[in-house]
Amino acid sequence: MDIKPDNLLVDSSLSSILICDFGSAQWATSYRTINSYLASRFYRAPEIILGIPYSFASDCWALGCVFYELYTGQILFQGGNSNEMLREVMEVKGPFPKRRVLSRGVFTSTYFDEDGLFMECGKDPLTQRSIVRKYIVKSPKKHLLTMLKQHSPNPNDPKECRKLGQLADLLEQMLDLDPEKRITPTQALKHAFIVER
C-alpha cells in the first residue's frame, strides 16, 4: 500500500480513519516484483530501497513515519533520493544489520560496499562533480524520544513524558531496520501507547 498522510481520510467526528489509494496494494499471497520505487519516498521502508522482498512490515514502517509526522508536524525522513533516505534512516536508527538485512538486498551494492560501508553520494562543493564518500555508521546521531520532546507542548509534564516515552518505544519498534523483527499490526494495537489513556 501507499501509506502516507495524504492517503488517510478521517471522519468528521475524528473517530474513524480510512485508507484510500490502493494503487500499489497487492494480495499477501501474490508474487511481488522487487521495485525500489514502490510507495512514496518519505514513507518507503528501507527493505524496499535495498531490494529485499517486502511484506506487511513495510506498511508498519510507513505508519511509524506517519505517526511521527502527525505528532510533530514534520516528515521524519526527508531525503531527496534513495541514497539520502538511507543516510537519514541510519542517523535515527543506526547501522543496518549486515547479515540479516544488507546481505539480502538485491540493490544493497548500490548503497553499501562489500565491507558494509555506506556510500554517500553527493557533489563536491567546489567542482560540482559527483563524489562518493564511504563511511561506517556506528550508532544513531539522533534519538526519537529527544526528537519528539522537541515538539512537545509540555515536555516536563510527567504524564506527557510517559506518553512520549511510549510513543518513542512504539516508533522504535515500527521502524526496526530488520523487517522480520519489526512490530506487527496486531502487536502494535496492544502496545501501551495505544491501550493506555
Q: Cα angle at 17 between 162 and 196, to 5 degrees? A: 25
Q: Which three cell numbers stand for residue 30?
A: 501474490
Burial class from Cβ neighbours inside 10 Å (0-12, 13-18, 19+) for residue 166 reads: middle
At 137, is the secondary structure helix, strand, or coil? Answer: coil
Q: What's the gap between Cα 172 and its chain centre?
A: 10
As annotated, the active-site residues are: 2
**Diameter of the chain by CA atoms?**
56
Where in the chain does DSSP place strands (E)? 8-10, 17-19, 118-123, 130-135
- Residue appearing with cell numbers 518513542: 168
Q: How far is the C-alpha of 153 from the C-alpha of 95, rounded, in Å?
A: 31
